[in-house]
Chains A and B, each alone.
Chain A
Amino acid sequence: MTASTTIPTSTFRPSARTVKESVPVREALTQITTLAWRALIKMRRNPEQLVDVTFMPVLFTVMFGLMFGGAVSGSTAHYLPTLIPGIIAMTTITACVAAGIQLREDMDKGVFDRFRSLPIARIAPLAGPMLADLARYAIAAGITLGVGVVMGYRPGGGVLGVLAGVVLAVITGWSIAWIFLWIGTKARSAGAVQGLSMMLMFPLAFLSNAFVPVDTLPGWLQAVTRVNPISHVVSALRDLMNDGVVTAQVGWALLGCATVAAIFIPLAVRSYSRQV
């Protein structure tokens, strides 16, 4: 057959040559950054969604610092090196809850049906917002630190120690958020996600060493706090920010985050792309 005998066909005629079997990695990355862009625009146009990473950290830092400072450490100033890393961990986990709620809300809207009908990587609609959420965790950690410094917190770890702490907080937020994302794909409504997430969030944040010295707790509770990955994150944050040292706790914290991500990323993606 020669080219000159080719019969002109419709411009729309599907060409098998253009059909790909899977999404190349480079295209998947473009899809993820595009959907992260969408999430950032959404954040900018709905600033009330940032309340949990702006006012909440301020409220908790001031409230806990003034209320528990004297009881736990003798004074607010002495309590701050214990409290600030704890609040950073807590507000980061709180910020994660929103990831699940927003995913559920998005999935209930028509635009997610379109995402599902497009030939895009199945992980992109989840990973895009997760990428944008890194900004939320950084804001939460930054504001907590700022309020702490105003109240008299002087991190002994210096600028590098503090920066390392913020990075660890962001990594923690990103990893833990996959749990809530998975809940978001499973639950029937945004309200249900909220309820289920709170049930998970409070034990994670409070059954830890975030706010009180563990040795004041009953023995069985001490055991619980030790297996809670958030305890290791809080210890690692204290080591980095207060002492400027990279300890084994940092390693445990990162290992905990990696484990959570390794379990819940596949669960969330599978649950999201499951057809009914």
Chain B
Amino acid sequence: MTATNLTQLGRSNGVSPSATSAVEARGLTKTFGKNLAVDNIDLTVMEGEIFGVLGPNGAGKTTMLNMLATLLSIDGGEARIFGYDVRSQGHAVRQLIGVTGQFASVDENLTGRENLWMFGRLQGLPSKKAHGIADELLAKFDLTEAANRPISQFSGGMRRRLDLAASLITRPALIFLDEPTTGLDPRNRSQMWDTIRDLVAEGSTILLTTQYLDEADALAGRIAVIDHGRKVAEGTPAQLKTRIGTSSLRIQMADAADTAAAVALAADLTGDAPVVSPTGSGFSVRLSNANQAADALIALRNHGLDITNTTVEQPSLDDVFFALTGHASETPGPESEASTS
């Protein structure tokens, strides 16, 4: 077949590529044996946004991403990328997406520069232009110095950056990022966040998965929470947070004998039932607003109740899951459903 415009193909199926949605999935389902890895998920990602998929290990995030990226077959439902059917128009979809997986998908045998050149050549760039773009991306991702070193000598953060650079060679319209910061140290993590924000500022659409609430909060305009293959919630970070509640105050008493008196004071002030720690020497209480933390601490001081330690904690992913599903997130362990043979 000759290279023709696939738009017509789409139209002949009675569906024209949508101008505004980058991802449109309905009833997406995937089973591995008896295990329902992705269960009837609907997803709409608008062009130009960062959409976060939040969930613990094994929730089905990677499986869902791999289905959308044409790496896994779709067992049920349907998905469109910029209007192109993922199942029947995989080749078109692959021209519109960049995929950065959880594990660096660059060639260990090549240097950073060779990797980028190779991926450029594979995607139809002339050799010289492929070299030019490789050098540009190496500079952009702060890898110029290491460009001619074998990948085996790269640190984890450098690999991630090279991996992302390899996904950007053809400036894809939609970028899938599977847990882009898992395993990165804080400095590399904030660099990756900046890079992701830059990409969107330049016009890309991003679908990212993460295990971290703060990451989804910091980056994503909208978030879908996935648990056991199901979508349990969707909304803006602010909408989700109101469902979860706010932060909690954790206090460690100097003398465990004071705990009961302190708990009574805290309950009075916050209107919440404090949870006493298993050792009996501390407790935590949910706050409906941040000023309650100060009120509680002042009250303890006024009553001569000494504390050794106190923290105000943001809701964790566990709190999110508890609030949304009524059970704690079951982890840890690698997202094994991603590896297929």
Contact = CB atoms under 8 A, between A and B. Distances in A.
Nearest to B91: A119
Contacts of A42: 109
Contacts of B47: 13
A117 B68 CA distance: 10
A14 B96 contact: yes
Given A10-B48, A20-B95, A31 B3 contact: no
B131 interface: no
Contacts of A38: 107, 109-110, 118
A113 B82 CA distance: 22
Nearest to A122: B91
A41 B110 contact: yes
Interface string A199-210: 000000000000
Contact of A45 (B6, B103, B109): B109
Given A13-B173, A21-B1, A114 B119 contact: yes
Contacts of A120: 122-123
A78 interface: no
Interface in A26-45: 27, 30-31, 34-35, 37-38, 41-42, 45
Contacts of A30: 121, 124
B20 to A, nearest CB: 11
Contact of B122 (A10, A18, A34, A110): A34
Nearest to A42: B109
Contacts of A5: none
Interface residues on A, range: 35 or more
A3 interface: no
A10 B201 CA distance: 10
Given A12-B203, A19-B84, A114-B99, A109 B173 contact: no
Interface in B151-205: 166, 171-174, 202-205
Contacts of B124: 27, 30
B110 A119 contact: no
Interface in A184-211: 188
A133 B302 CA distance: 82
Contacts of A20: 3-4, 6, 91-92, 95
B104 interface: yes
A276 to B, nearest CB: 4
B71 A275 contact: yes
A12 B123 contact: no
A91 B329 CA distance: 55
Contacts of A23: 91
Contacts of A112: 105
Contact of A118 (B2, B4, B94): B94
Most buried by A among B4, B9, B101, B109: B109
B91 A22 contact: yes
A19 B5 contact: yes
B122 A118 contact: yes
Nearest to B10: A16
Interface in B223-265: none
A17 B5 contact: yes
A16 B5 contact: yes
B3 A117 contact: no
B203 A117 contact: no
B1 A22 contact: yes
14 contacts: A11-B203, A16-B6, A19-B96, A20-B3, A20-B6, A21-B3, A23-B91, A31-B121, A31-B122, A41-B109, A45-B109, A114-B101, A114-B105, A118-B122
Interface of B: 1-7, 9, 17, 47-48, 69-73, 82, 84, 91-92, 94-97, 99, 101, 103-110, 114, 118-119, 121-124, 150, 166, 171-174, 202-205, 340-341
